[in-house]
Amino acid sequence: MNDQVFLLPDLGEGLTEADILEWRVAVGDTVRIDQIIAEVETAKAAVEVPVPFEGTVIELHGAAGDTLRVGTPLVTIRGVDADTAGPSSGAPREPAGHEQYREEERAGSGNVLIGYGTGFDAPRRRRRVPITHRSPATPEVSEQPEAVKSTSIPVPPSAPRVISPLVRNLALREGIDLSTLTGTGPGGIIVRADVEIRADVESPPAPVPAAPAPGPGRFHLERIPLKGLRKTVADKLSTSRREIPDATTWVDVDATELLRARTAINHGLPPEDQVSLLALLARLTIAALSRYPELNASVDTARGEIIRHGQVNLGVAAQTPRGLVVPVIDHADTMTTVELARALRDTVETAREGKLPPARLTGGTFTLNNYGVFGVDGSTPIINHPEAAILGIGRILDRPWVTDGTVTVRKLTQVSLSFDHRVCDGGAAGGFLRLFADYLENPVAALGRL
């Protein structure tokens, strides 16, 4: 027998550990090369881990919920009997995939999870794709049978077709037996909506007392580990507050014409080209940054320099089931309004599905935060370190507004800008915010000049 220990691979993007979300195999299972054996959660994304050997699983080095560091054992695989000796050497042949894995491990980097290299030039992908460890003898993908080409997760016919651990956890909380559900996702996969619909049918909301009286038992002590994405967010925000001397300025804006402009732009456009309000806000943000480039910057404290970036990599704050993430649209300043709308729609949807690779969550130069979707009017957003500014948008609602001496009802919103006082003074920050507000109040004229 030949036992091989597969170590948790290099996760890339400076990540050094991961939490085990779910094992896809158990001790005694037979696995093939590139089969998904586990799903793990890093500080930035949920990723699938394929195994680079074939054989029988004899040990899982951790349980769901455990945190493992990169380079520590993940699973031990027992290869096939060493009964296939080479014709001349007399030495037993190593199980398929083992030699390549050892070479990658010795190289010090390994293949990075979800197919991304550790360098800044690594390609950006839109979907989560497990890495592939192919031995030299393995045929190219184009020559493999269809069953090998698929990246879908094999599910026994008798088991519920569930991929996402979020769906499993939701079903567990709602007390729903997954085997009783019919999946509506691709290939019959059970998705979140399937569970939520069943939960609504079986557990209609209970009537809420008109005035619940406070009393003992309504609260209980709970300790929640600060780990994964929550820890990353906490560390970044703490660094921002510790290092950046920030200030916030805000202004009320009449967004009536902005909503009309969006309706006019979308008239006659196919659904895939429809421009969202967020896309319009992003386009006008970029336009204002072109006049105030000092806000599209960062501070290099080690070298004592202010770096004004040569392009706008726009971060967009998005609330997801895993928490707050800020995916980045690279070179957003080179995109048309329609192209930007497509990129934002794809990026935000992928982020909410938990499928964004770590590379898509770094490298931003300026962040836009539409907190109005939570029904709030204003905020003092914390700068996304190491950026120098963040622009926030409140909800849009009807309010009285004085126009040409007459009080009328208009669509008003509040916009706020938190900025690093090291990169500019209040004059530049106020000038940017006022210009952005003017663009919102006269979007047709602003877009016509772009």
95 compared with 198, residue with greater pLDDT: 198
Q: Which residue spans within 381-438 are E strands per DSSP?
A: 389-393, 397-403, 406-420
- Confidence at residue 160, expressed as pLDDT on a 0 to 100 scale: 65
- Confidence at residue 174, expressed as pLDDT on a 0 to 100 scale: 81
Query: Which of the residues are catalytic?
Result: 421
User: How far is the CA of 319 from the CAs of 207, 213, 290, 325, 369, in angstroms?
Assistant: 29, 32, 28, 6, 10
Alpha carbon distance 315, 152 (integer Å): 30
List, in order of start, the domains of the chain with CATH numbers.
Answer: 3-149 (2.40.50.100), 155-203 (4.10.320.10), 228-449 (3.30.559.10)
**pLDDT tens sequence across 25-43:** 999 999 998 889 998 887 6
Alpha carbon distance 7, 72 (integer Å): 5
Q: Poorest-confidence range of 87-101, 121-135, 293-307? A: 121-135
Task: Give the rounded percent of residues in the chain with a pLDDT score beyond 70.
Answer: 74
Average of per-residue pLDDT across 356-373: 91
- Confidence at residue 441, expressed as pLDDT on a 0 to 100 scale: 96
pTM assigned to the model = 0.60
User: How far is the CA of 413 from the CAs of 153, 265, 410, 434, 440, in angstroms?
Assistant: 46, 21, 10, 14, 10
